[in-house]
Amino acid sequence: MKVILLEDVKSVGKKGDLVELKDGYAKNFILPKKLGIEATNENMNNLKLQKKNKEKVEKEQFEAAKALATEIEKMTVKLQIKGGEGGKTFGSISSKEIAKAVADQYGKEIDKKKLQLAEVIKTVGTHEVTVKLHPKVSTKLKVHVESV
């Protein structure tokens, strides 16, 4: 029996896959638990439409991420940190503070989880922070830190 999977099923297939299963397994396990539906012509057409829609949405997200990446490359975020004598600083700058500064200074919302800091910034100067906007799109954001 041919079945379209609605969920990932271990050792059978992933969501959206068309798989050939034994009749008993499909009728007694997969179909009653709503893990899949029978592969009729109507269901096959629905699957094709869903895949096309998913591809279209992913392409739009990719294009939006590329556009945002070009904007971010041009940005230089300015932050201030308390400093003492000899160039020592008190405290540090985290990804949360950088994301808030981007929103305040440029009006662009960047999720703090997308900012990839190896470690928090503790020194004065210009630093580059990697921003991963999409699995295929990442860019660099310049962060200029000044001492107060």
**Chain segment 7-35, per-residue pLDDT in tens:** 999 999 999 899 999 999 999 999 999 99
pLDDT of residue 86: 72
Q: pLDDT tier at 134 (50, 70, 90 boundaries)?
A: very high
pLDDT of residue 67: 93
Q: pLDDT: is 42 or 124 the higher one?
A: 42
Whether the pLDDT of residue 2 is over 70: the answer is yes
Q: Which residues pair with 145 in a beta bridge?
A: 79, 125
Whether the pLDDT of residue 98 is over 80: the answer is yes
Report the SS3 class of residue 30.
helix
Supply the pTM of this predicted model: 0.71
Q: pLDDT tier at 79 (50, 70, 90 boundaries)?
A: very high
- Contact partners, residue 96, CB within 8 Å, separation at least 6: 112
Whether the pLDDT of residue 88 is over 80: the answer is no
pLDDT of residue 87: 67
- Report the sign of the C-alpha dihedral through residues 7, 12, 17, 21, in that order: negative
Q: What does the block give as tokens for 35?
A: 């893990």
Task: Pick the closest to residue 80 from 91, 96, 70, 68 (CA basis).
Answer: 91
Average pLDDT, the chain: 92
Residue linked to tokens 């000899």:
86
